[in-house]
Structure 1
């Protein structure tokens, strides 16, 4: 594609060997891209007690109107993050949960009420998901359906049923890459047909099929956390920068009492760092130094093709997690210069997501 230059990494930069990643990231920002999201875990929670059950487990208010989608957290009893999930209310007593893996299913199963009013089912094997994202995503989707996919027809963090061509889907207006678009769910037997229908519409508009490398770069530009990489059980929401997903004014939920104690005790923070040298390699798990002292470690890293800088997220002491603070990242015998940055690095007003 014509457009931004894609820097050539050093010869031994194993993680950044392909310029295709940059091209896919650029296309997502400027045209439209399709992502296969089928591997992610999907659960269905049903029954007359489903809403109350999820309210008890989740930090956010999920028992909202039918069609609502909520980003929320699961906590342990000490306030540590067990997972971050999305909860879509598809009917009065039916919710679809975008989960991180089997541990979430196990957590749900262990907390089921004994009266049988809630059922939890793993629907991953029988379903699939395609992410359609980019500024031209609506031009791809709208001609394929009779449903209204304008901003008024389906607002950000809302869901509805629709037909895309002849394929029935559940469309959720979510984006992990920071662009307009939808997660489109259908049954596994309809997945290839949905993919082909979307691709035939996207290709003439300059659309591409994109992968994990571009996905990771784009999510870091938006500051989206990855559970298991950026945050785990040992971190609480306020340290990890996802405190917005906690509603302490709601009824009791698992971990609430511990969070109320921990909120004022934040001593470390998940922090955004930028790296000006495009040839420097950061892959994750490297130590971070303040002077000659190791003070933290990198969780995720990628080159930000939109902002033209390397990006790394790292756990640092709270007193160093101030924008403008210089630090150094250790990479074998090198010390890579980095600086703490304000986040998100891209589209802080969220105008692209909500347009």
Structure 2
């Protein structure tokens, strides 16, 4: 009705009530509906709650029952189910029968009872199972709090109320932000496929890396055919197929010695990742960086606008690349950006999510244009000590350290392919990010691959990439830091220039008090121990923080962990809880690998 598109799927969900239970008589006073907490039977997709002397049963165990939103009746036309509401559909008893047997097994008192009444209640699922919250940019003052269940209800109410009144929630809600879905994730078919699967898996315990089964593949880079030929193991993110390792590199892993992993951490992992990390340190590797979001900001007011919106000083000559932050008015980190000034009034921004584009668009003046160029472009990271030997013969431009310094950008050609080259590295080795248009991407890959054979080039995946970036201490926004944190806590204070003039969040930073928590590097003491992220961390036996990112550091021979903790001294002993066990760890100085940056700046 408001013209705002919301990616969610209505589904019918069964809820039934038993008749009076003799065993439950007198448990609750006549005026008290429930005195005990809701009971969840996770293994059978069921939950139970009291209704005075009856039991209410909710089931996710039945087949998905999607509802066409355009067939939902008007209020006055709603069927006469127990509640005359458009969202209350007639009970389909045949879908209840298998669950009733599970109910009677769990609660023997139900064996002599029966379902007295029920209904199929319609509620909604999003493609990722999280709510949709926030103000629509297309309709100022129109707020959404959609796909909210009992488990979300009070927290959502608090967050949205704070958002409307104070300008931001006190708790980070980026995983619920209404802008988070890509255009490819907003089609009715996609929403139906993924919303249905979310219903099926709502009570399942899922591995943090587990991808959805369909629709895949959806978004692929221009290198996809070559990646398939190399035996890429793909996981999915943002609709993109992302190689995590390549089976073609299995022979390189034959000499790699690693401790055995437990079954959980071994899912969606391969020792090949260790071989790919080793090859990146010793030779040269190609990384597909296409899924990383790219924005183009142009116009006569582009510099002044970006200076106002970000924390670092971008008033550098064309060819400069700057790491900077998007802050909110309270100094919280909304995102981190890599900004390349390609011309006086043209910037290429490496961003994190659609929320970054939305935030910039909400503030952009009339003389600034912001365009998402991700889908029309692609990127290869060429990294390793032999990266220059690979790239230099393919271009007439000077790619030496003196001719093309670190954190610099230039327009160039690699073979027949025009590229935007950025001298950056997120894996701790010499190299470049090479960007070109999507139609030339395959040619760029083939050019680099053919020329790299004499240098032992390999393709490497996200698993090795994540290990290498943690060894270097590079932060990942949305995992290691959010708008709940400021740059001094997160260890990215170097990206703030208070002397450059006013910018969003500056006043809050000037008032920032003593740092009471810090993003802290840990090394697990046991070389065989592995954690995956979001585990609690204990200091002196008491819970003190949580893990943000973790990956085995193949160069260091230990699992590298980043966690939010009260500022500890290096060498402090802590424990990370993993499946109920306290795993010993030690606070470490960072960066853990190549602290003088000699491998990158050569």
TM value normalised by structure 1: 0.96
Contact 2:521 2:587 (8 Å CA) reproduced: yes
The 1:119–1:17 alpha-carbon spacing in structure 2 relative to 1, beyond 3 Å, is closer
The answer for the alignment partner of 2:340 in structure 1 is: 88
Deviation string 1:37-60 (CA, Å, 9 cap, x unpaired) is 001110001111100000001100
Contact 1:85 1:99 (8 Å CA) reproduced: yes
The answer for the alignment partner of 1:108 in structure 2 is: 360
1:247 paired with 2:497, answer yes
SS at match of 1:14: coil
The 1:101–1:12 alpha-carbon spacing in structure 2 relative to 1, beyond 3 Å, is closer
Measure how far apart 1:13 and its partner are: 2.6
Measure how far apart 1:281 and its partner are: 2.0
The answer for the alignment partner of 2:539 in structure 1 is: 290
Segments ≥4 residues shifted beyond 4 Å = none
Deviation string 1:170-202 (CA, Å, 9 cap, x unpaired) is 000001111100000000000010011111122
Contact 1:180 1:352 (8 Å CA) reproduced: yes
Measure how far apart 1:276 and its partner are: 2.8
1:136 paired with 2:383, answer no
The answer for the alignment partner of 2:409 in structure 1 is: 159
The answer for the alignment partner of 2:324 in structure 1 is: 72
| Residue 582 of structure 2, aligned match among 312, 335, 345 | 335
Contact 1:9 1:17 (8 Å CA) reproduced: no
Deviation string 1:199-241 (CA, Å, 9 cap, x unpaired) is 1122331221111110000000000000000001101000000
Inter-partner Cα distance in structure 1 for 2:340 and 2:517 = 32
Larger Rg: 2
Deviation string 1:9-57 (CA, Å, 9 cap, x unpaired) is 2344335741111011111111111000001110001111100000001
Deviation string 1:251-291 (CA, Å, 9 cap, x unpaired) is 000000001111x3210000000013122120000000113
1:270 paired with 2:522, answer no
Inter-partner Cα distance in structure 2 for 1:163 and 1:344 = 34
Measure how far apart 1:4 and its partner are: 5.7
The answer for the alignment partner of 1:235 in structure 2 is: 485
Inter-partner Cα distance in structure 2 for 1:196 and 1:94 = 29
Larger RCO of the pair (alpha carbons < 8 Å, separation 6+) = 1
The answer for the alignment partner of 2:305 in structure 1 is: 53
Deviation string 1:73-131 (CA, Å, 9 cap, x unpaired) is 00000000000001101011100000001000001101111xx2111111111111110
Contact 1:10 1:279 (8 Å CA) reproduced: no
| Residue 39 of structure 1, aligned match among 279, 291, 300 | 291
Contact 1:9 1:16 (8 Å CA) reproduced: no
Contact 1:131 1:183 (8 Å CA) reproduced: yes
The answer for the alignment partner of 1:301 in structure 2 is: 550
Structure 1 residue runs of 5 or longer lacking an equivalent are none
Inter-partner Cα distance in structure 2 for 1:164 and 1:78 = 44
1:177 paired with 2:177, answer no
The answer for the alignment partner of 1:323 in structure 2 is: 570
SS at match of 2:569: coil
Contact 1:71 1:86 (8 Å CA) reproduced: yes
286-295 or 213-222: bigger deviation: 286-295
SS at match of 2:281: helix
Contact 2:528 2:558 (8 Å CA) reproduced: no
The answer for the alignment partner of 1:225 in structure 2 is: 475
Contact 1:278 1:303 (8 Å CA) reproduced: no
The answer for the alignment partner of 1:118 in structure 2 is: 368
The 1:268–1:347 alpha-carbon spacing in structure 2 relative to 1, beyond 3 Å, is same
The 1:16–1:343 alpha-carbon spacing in structure 2 relative to 1, beyond 3 Å, is farther
1:346 paired with 2:593, answer yes
CA RMSD of aligned residues (A): 1.2
120-129 or 198-207: bigger deviation: 198-207
Deviation string 1:289-347 (CA, Å, 9 cap, x unpaired) is 113210000000011111111110000012xx210000000011211100000000000
Structure 2 residue runs of 5 or longer lacking an equivalent are 1-251
